């Protein structure tokens, strides 16, 4: 069956329908990872977005449900150059085609993903529609695409109730703004007792449980949409409990303490982004997935926090260290999945911080 990807600038790509044969409007983004497509599809940070994989062949090692980063996929749509329909891998238990269909996610294969990526890099991230309607009306569709926004997606992806992963080490409160599973697992395998809280949990409730440390997770959407959460993050900042924040959590901490964020032209999404640790000068290859970035200027001028990491490619902020506080935050993903494990040592740094707190 034919399928069409229509961008808000009027570009139309024609390919083959994969997954659910339905229409969807979403923000179109690209990911440069060569592997890890299941982790990408199940990363809650992609809620409200359709993902184009830049690697030309996707699906060749199938689907292994143990690799999911959450209980279900969150992408709105999936865009590939070539879909491998016969996977070859001893761990594979499913195909991408069936996985997408089962979860009612539309997709398109057979388009020039290189051309699509170049458009998004040159013009910036834009909205688009995946449709199987061969009689689509472009003039009627374009205003709908321009009007689309992801909205408050954190509330959509967060857990519904508190969950505890037992451990005999420090007690960590993990704020679930759309947390990838491996964040909790990275703490749990270091012995932490991890309590996962819904995103809208009041700071008072978290602090009443007397955690040794607080983790602010990754998540989707514009951080400035999270107005009520930002107020609670400020209370956590004032508590003097050690805090480690990743991706959206990093942005929310900056906003809570008087900093600013802005939308990037096309974001960082992939497993090959170099970041420099400003304290040591060492460069790490990192996994990233974000379309917004912290403007560190105000925080630095007010001596609230100082840049701790910087992106080697474009010089954007990749982390902050907060003055007089046991708080550090990073824009990239030290838990990876998919991606390199270079920066997993940051979890050990967090463990040291909590030991001091105890």
Strand order in the sheet with 243-246: 163-165, 193-198, 171-176, 213-216, 243-246, 327-330, 317-322, 305-311, 260-277, 283-295
**Residue 251 assigned as binding residue:** yes
Distance CA 335, CA 36 (A): 13
Taking phi over 0 as left and psi of -120 to 50 as alpha, with beta for the rest, 10 belongs to: left
Contacts of 195 (CB under 8 A, 6+ apart): 162, 163, 164, 165, 171, 172, 173, 174, 209, 211
Active-site annotation holder among 192, 226, 247, 337: 247
Helix (H) or strand (E) holding 264: strand 260-277
Confirm or deny that 248 is annotated as ligand binding: yes
- 45 labelled binding-site residue: yes
Paired tokens of 230: 């930002």
82 is catalytic: no
Q: Are strands 283-295 and 82-83 parallel, antiparallel or unpaired?
A: unpaired
**Residue 289 is labelled as binding a ligand:** yes
335 annotated active-site: yes
- b/e code 213-251 from CB counts within 10 Å (16+ = b): bbbbbbbbbbbebbeebbebbbebbebebbbbbbbbbbb
Query: Is residue 291 part of an annotated ligand binding site?
Result: yes
From the list 250, 268, 290, 333, the catalytic residue is: 333
Q: Is 333 a catalytic residue?
A: yes
The dihedral through the CA atoms of 254, 259, 263, 268 has a sign that is: negative
CA distance from start to end of the chain: 61
Q: Pick the catalytic residue: 250, 273, 335, 337?
A: 335
221 is in an annotated binding site: yes
Tokens for 243, please give them: 């805090």
Q: Enumerate the known binding-site residues.
A: 45, 219, 221, 248, 251, 289, 291-292
Cite the active site residues.
Answer: 247, 333, 335
Q: Enumerate the known binding-site residues for L-glutamine.
A: 45, 219, 221, 248, 251, 289, 291-292
């Amino acid at each position: 069956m034919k399928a069409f990807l229509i961008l808000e600038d009027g570009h139309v790509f024609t390919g083959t329908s994969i997954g659910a044969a339905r229409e969807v409007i979403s923000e179109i983004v690209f990911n440069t990872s060569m592997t890890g497509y299941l982790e990408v599809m199940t990363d809650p940070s992609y809620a409200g977005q359709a993902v184009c994989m830049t690697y030309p062949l996707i699906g060749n090692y199938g689907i292994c449900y143990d690799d999911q980063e959450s209980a279900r996929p969150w992408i709105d749509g999936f865009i590939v150059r070539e879909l491998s329909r016969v996977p070859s891998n001893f761990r594979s238990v499913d195909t991408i085609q069936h996985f997408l269909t089962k979860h009612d996610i539309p997709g398109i294969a057979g388009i020039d993903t290189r051309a699509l990526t170049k458009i998004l890099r040159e013009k910036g991230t834009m909205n688009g529609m995946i449709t199987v309607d061969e009689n689509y009306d472009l003039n009627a569709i374009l205003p709908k695409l321009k009007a689309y926004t992801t909205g408050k997606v954190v509330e959509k992806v967060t857990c519904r109730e508190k969950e505890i992963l037992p451990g005999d080490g420090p007690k960590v409160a993990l704020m679930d703004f759309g947390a990838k599973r491996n964040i909790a697992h990275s703490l749990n395998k270091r012995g932490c007792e991890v309590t996962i809280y819904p995103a809208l949990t009041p700071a008072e409730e978290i602090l009443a449980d007397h955690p040794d440390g607080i983790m602010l997770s990754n998540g989707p959407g514009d951080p400035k949409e999270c107005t009520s959460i930002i107020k609670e993050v400020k209370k956590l900042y004032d508590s003097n409990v050690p805090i480690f924040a990743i991706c959206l959590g990093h942005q929310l901490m900056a906003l809570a303490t008087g900093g600013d964020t802005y939308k990037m032209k096309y974001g960082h999404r992939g497993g090959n982004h170099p970041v420099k640790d400003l304290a040591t000068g060492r460069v790490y290859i990192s996994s990233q997935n974000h379309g917004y970035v912290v403007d560190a200027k105000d925080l630095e001028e007010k001596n609230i926090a100082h840049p701790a990491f910087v992106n080697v490619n474009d010089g954007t902020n990749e982390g902050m260290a907060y003055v007089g506080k046991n708080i550090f935050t990073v824009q990239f993903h030290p838990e990876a999945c998919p991606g390199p494990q270079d920066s997993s040592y940051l979890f050990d740094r967090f463990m040291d911080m909590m030991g001091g707190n105890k």
